[in-house]
Chains A and B, each alone.
Chain A
Amino acid sequence: MTNTVHEPSEQALIQLLTPEGERRSHAEYDSYIQDVDAEMLRGFYRDMALTRRFDQEATALQRQGQLALWVPLRGQEAAQIGSGRATRPSDYIFPTYREHGVALTRNVDFPQMLRIFRGISNGGWDPRENNFHMYTMVLAAQMPHATGYAMGIQRDQAGWDAERLEKDGEAVVAYFGDGSSTEGEVHESMVFAASFNSPVVFFCQNNQWAISVPFHVQSKVPLADRAAGYGFPGIRVDGNDVLAVLAVTRWALERARRGEGPVLIEAVTYRMSAHTTADDPTKYRLDADEEAWVGRDPLARLEKHLRDNDLADELFFKQVAVDGDEMATRVRVEAMAFPDPELAQSFANVYAEAHPLIQEELKWHLEYEAGFADTTEEGAPR
């Protein structure tokens, strides 16, 4: 692969779809999206629109006091759908806490994702069902897990020939943010991955902000440039261009599966909404900056491309909107109907094997709670 030149700061941003929705050809990456036809493009639009609608619904639920917190992703849909759709079901994904679009591509049911934010679960879904790991709230902690998982894959695939690797080989995608790139664990995970040539793709969504701290405080160079220091390719891609993200992620994954080691992808995007529903971006960033990025909206861009090239008609866009509203209603109804968990159940999940302290405390807890139950049944204290 040719993408190994690392002139500081001057790495080209891979772009296949301009903000105006025009298709740009690229000598190297076009070949990775040759199968993308009109139907697939409509599928990507649909994925992105549903993700945005879900985000909007969850934000509303938080405002109504139904969720403790929400982590919006508006603006990052192309980075997430493009990379998620580049994976195979057998690839394993380690997300952060904002990968709702990636989750869609892994068939994680949206209502399940609200269990974390509704205070019902610290995990939410079964990671093994869709090879989509739990969200991680401790920034960057998932990064070495991804490398370790990839080291496991290498051992499972020991002795496979090139053909089998190409066909059945597995890889890992580790998501992280521009702010998280400062954490030591990102460094260690990359060193380990490089040392062992592990099949892991490090996917940074550089959304420009780590809450209120801008990217230039985290890094003096484009993040992709750092890969050179570890000895593997780094690549910058227009994160608002679903085609480019798809292409470079496919390239990176294929390479990893073939046994050629890790890649760092920096998807340059923008968090158009607040960091979380507890955040106030008006305190730290300029309207002009936001407006500039609205012009690079990933959804508007694909919509324009679809319309200008007669790849989708009005009916299609209407239908996507209707489906989005239906999905939002279902999310609301199902998420509101989740029963509250029992604390007693939490005792069962601390250890796999019997543990005397857990048994002792559970017994005490149940007896204590039972004491209250009696009072309620018999009415107020006499």
Chain B
Amino acid sequence: MSTTTMTLAKAITAGLDKVLATNPKSLLIGEDIGRLGGVYRVTDGLIDSYGADRVIDSPLGEAGIIGTSIGMAIRGYSPIAEIQFDGFVFPAFNQITTQLAKMRARSEGRFGAPVVIRIPYGGGIGSIEHHSESPEALFAHTAGLRIMAPSNAHDAYWMIQQAAACQDPVIFFEPKRRYWLKGEVDTENPAADAFKAQVIRPGEDATIVTYGPLVPVALAAAEAAREDGRSVEVIDLRSVSPIDFDTITESVEKTGRLIVTHEAPTFGGIGGEIAARISERAFLSLEAPVIRVGGFHMPYPVAKVEEQYLPDIDKVLEALDRSFAY
């Protein structure tokens, strides 16, 4: 077994390296991803190994990055595009939703545009505006796209490779505040299917579903709850579209209680979708309503108050208390 300890960021670098090495049609494109190695250095060094034609420092234009990626994909290439920050994906929103997502439907299944879009996302890093957002629900609502969000180094290493191999377009949301989180990466044994959720902590009394940056929060909350005598199961969704409802349903049928937590605003978010589906699928197993713990209905607040905005251990514990109160 070849297990190495890496940060989540370096695991993505290593995964990208693997993709570039094995698929000669794959290439990276984005702002500052070449010489600089990306503002988070996720593509560091790759231009030295693969050259400027495969690690493309693009002009500054998000619609251009995604639009040209679509064109390269139509030509038979497999582009992996980087959007520098979550809040800057919107100039490319049109290309992603009206073009990328629909290429397969519009060509009547003849071809798609298997582009991967990497986006560092989420808050908790004390940054300025438009550098801390969680826009996943805006894309999850669009048919034709797949959305992944790894939470640990091992998943990150494998999921970026699975995203690159996928014949559908994938938006790969990287939890930027976990970029420096170290973990064991087994480079021989692949992670599970990227579109399957994983029970990362078994429990009997309640289930917490989350993904990306909040996974450590959910685990810590479950650990704290154990001290109160509550056995809490934690599910890492890994894929935000499609959502593995089977794994959640099975868990809720066992525990009877469900908390969904994500950084994105609660209203209209992924949590609402999970709550609705689980109510349909497991109504009779539920001992309490599904409770969502997410961001408020406001633009992401300034860094000095973001700790009050972000779901944390205490907010998840409060939600568990409410659930157990039924």
Contact = CB atoms under 8 A, between A and B. Distances in A.
The residue among A122, A138, A145, A147 with the most chain B CB atoms within 10 A of its own CB is: A145
A149 interface: yes
Interface string B102-114: 1011111111101
A356 B108 contact: no
B137 to A, nearest CB: 15
A141 B91 CA distance: 12
Contacts of B77: 152, 155
A17 interface: no
B78 to A, nearest CB: 11
B261 interface: no
Nearest to A348: B109
Contacts of B70: 144-145, 148
Interface in B52-67: 53, 58-59, 61, 63-64, 66-67
A117 interface: no
A123 interface: yes
A33 B269 CA distance: 60
Interface string B88-108: 000100110011001011111
B146 interface: yes
A95 B110 CA distance: 18
B217 to A, nearest CB: 27
B273 to A, nearest CB: 10
A150 B167 contact: no
A191 interface: yes
B72 interface: yes
Given A127-B107, A346-B105, A349-B104, A147 B63 contact: no
A151 interface: yes
A350 interface: yes
The residue among B75, B91, B243 with the most chain A CB atoms within 10 A of its own CB is: B75
A127 B110 contact: yes
A148 B53 contact: no
A147 B67 contact: yes
Interface stretch (A101-109, A181-189, A237-245, A306-314): A181-189
A357 B201 CA distance: 26
A147 B105 CA distance: 22
Contact of B59 (A121, A122, A191): A191
A96 to B, nearest CB: 14
A286 interface: no
Contacts of B216: none
A352 B59 contact: no
B99 A145 contact: yes
Interface in A145-164: 145-153, 155-156, 158
B243 to A, nearest CB: 8
A303 to B, nearest CB: 38
Nearest to B67: A144
B63 A145 contact: no
A353 B166 contact: yes
A195 interface: yes
A192 B61 contact: yes
A356 B242 contact: yes
The residue among A152, A156, A188, A189 with the most chain B CB atoms within 10 A of its own CB is: A188
Contacts of B104: 349-352
Please tell me the size bucket of the interface on B: 35 or more
A174 to B, nearest CB: 10
Contacts of A352: 104, 112, 114, 166-168
Contact of A355 (B74, B114, B242): B242
Interface string A103-144: 000000000000000000111001110000110101001011
B64 A138 contact: no
B128 to A, nearest CB: 24
B5 to A, nearest CB: 32
A191 B167 CA distance: 29
A138 B99 CA distance: 9
A55 B191 CA distance: 56
Nearest to A152: B75
Contact of A192 (B64, B73, B74): B64
B245 interface: yes
A185 B67 contact: yes
Contact of A144 (B27, B95, B107): B95
A134 B59 contact: no
Given A184-B91, A191-B61, A349 B75 contact: no
B68 interface: yes
The residue among A122, A346, A351 with the most chain B CB atoms within 10 A of its own CB is: A351
B98 A144 contact: no
A149 to B, nearest CB: 4
B323 to A, nearest CB: 26
Interface of B: 27, 53, 58-59, 61, 63-64, 66-77, 79, 91, 94-95, 98-99, 102, 104-112, 114, 143-144, 146, 166-168, 242-246
9 closest A-B pairs by CB: A148-B71, A144-B67, A152-B75, A148-B68, A188-B64, A352-B167, A145-B71, A149-B71, A188-B61
Given A133-B74, A346-B105, A352-B168, 7 more contacts: A122-B102, A128-B110, A144-B64, A144-B67, A148-B75, A188-B63, A353-B166
Interface of A: 92, 121-123, 126-128, 133-134, 136, 138, 141, 143-153, 155-156, 158, 184-185, 187-189, 191-192, 195, 346, 348-353, 355-357
7 contacts: A127-B107, A145-B70, A147-B68, A148-B72, A152-B77, A185-B64, A195-B58
